[in-house]
Structures are given as structure tokens and as C-alpha cells.
Amino acid sequence: MLDLIIGAVVVLAAIKGFSRGGIVEVASLLALVAAIWAGVHLNERVTAALGLEIDHEALAFLITFVLVLVAVHLLARFLTTLIDLAQMGLMNKLAGVLVAALRSVFVLSVLLNLLLTVGDGKWPGKDMRAGSTLYGPVSAVAPFVFPQLGNSKWLQRTVERVKEAGKDLVE
């Protein structure tokens, strides 16, 4: 079941990647990675620069994240125009398939790791994880790309808050 979900997401992303093209897909991947990195590493500086209290680090993360995404997206649109002028559209489309599939694997990895952390390992369950061929490789991608993400104070506090909120809902 889990392999079916993972496979469907990757195939749909590849189809979308073909329509968007490689330049936009590469930029989307780079923007996602750069935005997360900037949000994690610049979070305290942005919080201080905006004069926010420590409890509002999530807002600073979000502002940094969005600004990086927008900047990279604008650059991608400009580069796509140049590629179209050079009549390299098919190569751009095929590159889009590959990059979109890789990006979807990265996003799935982040989601699977978050679900496992926030849900205290309940979903996906041990049996589901053990029966999946794709779960292991896919879930290992995000920690490999961002080993320092687990050390983020803001993320640790956020995970704890989500866990507490979930317990309050159950009680």
C-alpha cells in the first residue's frame, strides 16, 4: 500500500515535470532546499532583525522561506525564457521529468519523517514500513540532505508542541 502511494506521487510529479520543464523543476528543487536551509540557519538572525520574540521564530522561518522561494522562482522564469529562445524545449521537458521525480522523493521523505516523528512511530506502522520496498530508501533522503535539520531548536520545539496538541485532542 505504501509503495503504491509513493509510486503514484512520483509518477504524477514526473508528468507535471514534463509539462513544466527542467529549468523550472531544478529551480523548484533548489528553491526548496535553499529555503529550508536559509530558514533553519538564518532563523535566529531574522528573528532578531525583525525584532520578534523567540516564540515567533516560526514567523521568521516562514518569511525567510518565502523570500528565497520567490527569488529563485523569478530567476527560473527568466532562464526558461532563454532556453525557449535557444529552441532546447524537448531537452528541458525531459530534464523536468527527472528533476520532478527526484523532488517528489525529497518531499515524500520529509513528510514520512515528520509523520513518524510527530506520530511517535505509529504511522506508517512497523509492519507497513517493513512491507514496503520504497519506504527505506525514500525516508533516508531528507536526513541525508539535511542532517542538521534534526538539531534545529525551532523544529524540536514545534514537534513537541504538535505532540502536546495531539495529546490534548485525544484526552
pTM for this predicted structure: 0.62
pLDDT of res. 109: 93
DSSP structure class, residue 86: T
**Structure confidence at residue 92 (pLDDT):** 87
What pLDDT sits at residue 170?
Answer: 57
| Best CA proximity match to 41, nearest among 15, 18, 68, 21 | 68
Q: Give residue-wise pLDDT tens across range 13-25.
A: 999 999 999 988 8
Cα–Cα distances (Å) from 85 to 58, 78, 80, 89, in that order, read: 41, 11, 9, 9
Q: What is the rounded CA–CA span in Å between residue 24 and residue 127? A: 38
DSSP conformational letter for 149: G
| Rounded CA separation 44/99 (Å) | 32
Transcribe 40-66 into DSSP letters: HHSHHHHHHHTT--GGGHHHHHHHHHH
Digits of tens for pLDDT over the chain (171 positions)? Answer: 899 999 999 999 999 999 999 988 888 878 888 898 888 888 888 888 888 887 777 888 888 899 999 999 899 888 888 887 777 878 888 999 999 999 899 999 989 988 887 777 677 888 888 899 999 999 999 888 877 666 667 677 777 777 777 666 555
C-alpha cell at 21: 520543464
pLDDT score recorded for residue 168: 64
In the prediction, which pLDDT does 14 show?
Answer: 96
